[in-house]
């Protein structure tokens, strides 16, 4: 590379790397180092305590509750949203009238801000004026209105449904893009060779989408770990910690109790879990295509 | 050419379309209809899909509420600034990642992508303490730089994909004609990857528009609050909720993203596939 090009590369890449370094890497390292301290903004303590936070964490029943909830609330919606989004993508890939218009409409739940999603579902689950209660009562499935978000049994389900609704269009988009990248002549050749519609789906469509499916589902699980915007206005982690996830637990510890050391310890466990997921994500992104 | 479907298959297809779209649009229609209801109707006939008495009073109340307009303006300022900055940084970095082969390029790219996986609430802990230390709480710059990091890693990947798609001969021709490389990037390459620029801008705008935890923690004074924490402090834990006003506010907050995305849908699809699918 000639010298002028080298300067150009450095000048163009450095600003982005500097931002990533100062606002992502440095704070990450600092946050993680707090896990070895009793840093507390209220008690004004900040000294090295070794692994004390970790021994505390691994005997903390609330932490195990949060771990369970995090796995459930971050993974279950991905399954639901993927299945509905896949169905939408298959239908919207067909020759139908006003196809682009319908594709745009199907996108709406994803482009509505998540804070609105949270309050919209709060409203729909409301025990006195919520449409969910009205419909279920009209159908005769319940006899009186139920406060869905106030019961530990129903609150996680209610939150997961809100996630599913919000995330479905993302899978629709990704899978639709994937469907369009499968060459039409392969499908035609299979049909000429006598493949049924189901056979084409099983042996051509699904293998052709393998990579997109892997990437989009893992990406969504990772995003869900960070999702605070929907869960906080709906339940704040309650009732009785029934929807307490890692992000809510970190927020409570760090910004309500100002127990920075303990919040950082939860963060370390979170990061380790995500690194395992990232490993699979990377393998999907950089891995070679398997022969179909 | 697709096979011609039988009439029965055709009908089944449209039934499936209607069912799948009503799943996505039902709650939206509910939000819209409630925003045009009177408060009395919301409580009196909670099940009616259409308002009994159409009214704009909820919108009027929300739009004349100085809190709402302040929060809305703050959200716009922070998110527009953050997405412009993201576009700028991602475009120049994405260009070099696409056009030059240098040692460690692949490792650097993978590393940039990996930062996307870091738990953002954990970063927030240290950044909150830093911003507090430097007196940057309750200001725009703290949130702007924070929001840049939400979208930047993925945006660099998207941009690199878009530059890959621009034929290298075009800028070579421009450079032979006397353009510097920076000039060629601005005058020749950037206009050709406008769809990518738009996709990155939209993507990072939505990432910031969706945030609650950073805005809730960093900007707490009434004059500097953004919409999401504003909604939380106004409506969470209230004994009586003015649902028609809350839904009118929700419609207004959704408008910028919904309208932009409906208009520029094609670019978004292209951007997602360039960044996430091609890899």
* Predicted confidence (pLDDT) per residue in B120-148, tens digit: 888 999 999 999 999 999 999 999 999 99
B144 close to A (CB below 8 A) = no
Q: DSSP states of B219-261 as a string?
A: --STTT--HHHHHHHHHTT-SS--HHHHHHHHHHHHHHHHHHH
The percent of chain A in helix, strand and coil, each rounded to the nearest 5, is 75, 0, 25
Chain length of chain A: 292
Q: Is B185 exposed, middle or buried (0-12, 13-18, 19+ CB in 10 A)?
A: buried
* Residues B167-225 pLDDT 10s: 888 888 888 888 888 888 888 888 888 877 888 888 889 889 999 999 999 998 989 99
Q: Does A25 touch chain B (CB under 8 A)?
A: yes
Q: What percent of chain A has pLDDT over 90?
A: 51
Q: B208 with B82: CB under 8 angstroms?
A: yes
Backbone angles phi, psi at A40, to 5 degrees: -140, 125
Mean residue pLDDT of chain B comes to 86
Q: What are the sequence ranges of the domains in chain A?
A: 35-286
Please report residues of A whose CB lies closer than 8 A to that of B3: 191
ipTM score over 0.90, yes or no = no
In the prediction, which pLDDT does B3 show?
Answer: 54
Closest chain A CA to residue B99:
A9
**Domain at A35-286: CATH code:** 1.10.3720.10
pLDDT band (50, 70, 90) for residue A195: confident
Nearest to B148 by CA among A109, A17, A279: A17
Structure-block tokens of residue B252: 């207004």
pLDDT, tens digit (0-9, with 9 covering 90-100), for A105-114 = 998 999 899 9
B182 contacts on A by Cβ (under 8 Å) = 8
Q: Record the tokens describing residue A237, joined without a space.
A: 């982690």
Q: Quick one: pLDDT at residue A113?
A: 94
> How far is C-alpha A283 from the geometric centre of its chain's CA atoms?
19
pLDDT in tens, A10-47: 999 999 999 999 889 999 999 889 999 888 888 888 88
pLDDT in the model for residue B1: 41
What is the reported pLDDT for B194?
Answer: 81
Position A291 scores a pLDDT of 40
**Closest CB from B119, B128, B265 relative to A104:** B265
Asked if the model's pLDDT at residue A292 lies above 50, the reply is no
* B87 Ramachandran zone, left/alpha/beta (phi>0; psi -120 to 50): alpha
CB count, 10 Å around CB of A97?
8
**Sign of CA pseudo-dihedral A172, A177, A178, A183:** positive
In DSSP terms, A40 is beta-bridged to A45
Contacts B27 to A, Cβ<8 Å: 109, 120-121, 124, 165
Confidence bin at A285 (pLDDT 50/70/90): low
At A66-96, the pLDDT tens digits run 999 999 999 999 999 999 999 999 999 888 8
- pLDDT(A287) > 60: no
């Amino acid at each position: 590379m000639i010298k002028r090009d080298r300067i150009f590369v450095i000048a163009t890449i450095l600003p982005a790397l500097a931002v990533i370094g100062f606002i992502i890497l440095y704070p990450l390292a600092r946050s993680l180092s707090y896990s070895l301290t009793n840093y507390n903004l209220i008690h004004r303590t900040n000294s090295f305590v070794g692994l004390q936070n970790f021994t505390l964490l691994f005997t903390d029943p609330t932490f195990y509750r949060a771990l369970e909830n995090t796995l459930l609330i971050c993974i279950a919606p991905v399954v639901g949203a993927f299945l509905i989004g896949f169905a939408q993508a298959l239908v919207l890939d067909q020759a139908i009238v006003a196809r682009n218009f319908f594709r745009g409409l199907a996108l709406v739940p994803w482009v509505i801000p998540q804070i609105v999603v949270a309050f919209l579902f709060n409203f729909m689950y409301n025990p006195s004026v919520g449409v969910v209660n009205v419909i279920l009562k009209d159908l005769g499935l319940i006899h009186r209105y139920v406060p869905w978000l106030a019961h530990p049994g129903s609150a996680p389900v209610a939150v997961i449904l809100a996630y599913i609704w919000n995330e479905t269009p993302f899978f629709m988009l990704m899978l639709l893009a994937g469907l369009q990248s499968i060459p039409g002549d392969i499908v035609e050749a299979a049909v000429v060779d006598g493949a049924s519609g189901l056979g084409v789906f099983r042996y051509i469509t699904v293998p052709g989408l393998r990579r997109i499916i892997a990437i989009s589902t893992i990406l969504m699980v990772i995003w869900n770990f960070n999702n605070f915007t929907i869960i906080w206005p709906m339940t704040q982690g309650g009732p009785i910690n029934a929807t307490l996830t890692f992000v809510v637990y970190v927020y409570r510890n760090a910004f309500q109790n100002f127990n920075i050391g303990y919040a950082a310890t939860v963060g370390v466990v979170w990061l380790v879990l995500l690194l395992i997921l990232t490993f699979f994500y990377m393998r999907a992104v950089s891995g070679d295509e398997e022969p179909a | 050419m697709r096979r011609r479907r039988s009439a029965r298959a055709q009908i089944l297809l449209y039934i499936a379309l209607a069912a799948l779209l009503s799943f996505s649009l039902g709650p939206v229609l509910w939000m819209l209809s409630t925003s045009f209801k009177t408060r009395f109707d919301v409580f009196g006939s909670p099940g009616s899909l259409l308002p009994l008495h159409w009214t704009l009073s909820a919108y009027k109340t929300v739009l004349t509420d100085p809190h709402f307009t302040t929060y809305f303006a703050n959200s716009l300022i922070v998110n527009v600034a953050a997405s412009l900055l993201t576009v700028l940084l991602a475009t120049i970095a994405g260009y070099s990642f696409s056009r030059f082969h240098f040692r460690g390029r692949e490792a650097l790219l993978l590393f940039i992508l990996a930062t996307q996986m870091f738990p953002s609430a954990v970063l927030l802990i240290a950044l909150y303490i830093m911003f507090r230390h430097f007196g940057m709480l309750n200001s725009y710059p703290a949130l702007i730089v924070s929001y840049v990091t939400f979208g930047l890693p993925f945006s660099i990947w998207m941009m690199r994909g878009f530059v890959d798609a621009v034929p290298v001969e075009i800028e070579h021709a421009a450079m032979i004609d006397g353009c510097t490389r920076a000039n060629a990037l601005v005058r020749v390459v950037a206009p050709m990857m406008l769809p990518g620029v738009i996709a990155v801008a939209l993507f990072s705008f939505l990432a910031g528009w969706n945030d609650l935890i950073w805005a809730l923690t960093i900007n707490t004074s009434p004059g500097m609050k953004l919409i999401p924490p504003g909604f939380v402090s106004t409506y969470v834990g209230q004994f009586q909720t003015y649902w028609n006003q809350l839904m009118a506010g929700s419609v207004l907050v959704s408008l910028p993203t919904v309208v932009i995305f409906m208009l520029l849908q094609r670019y978004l699809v292209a951007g997602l596939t360039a960044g996430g699918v091609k890899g």
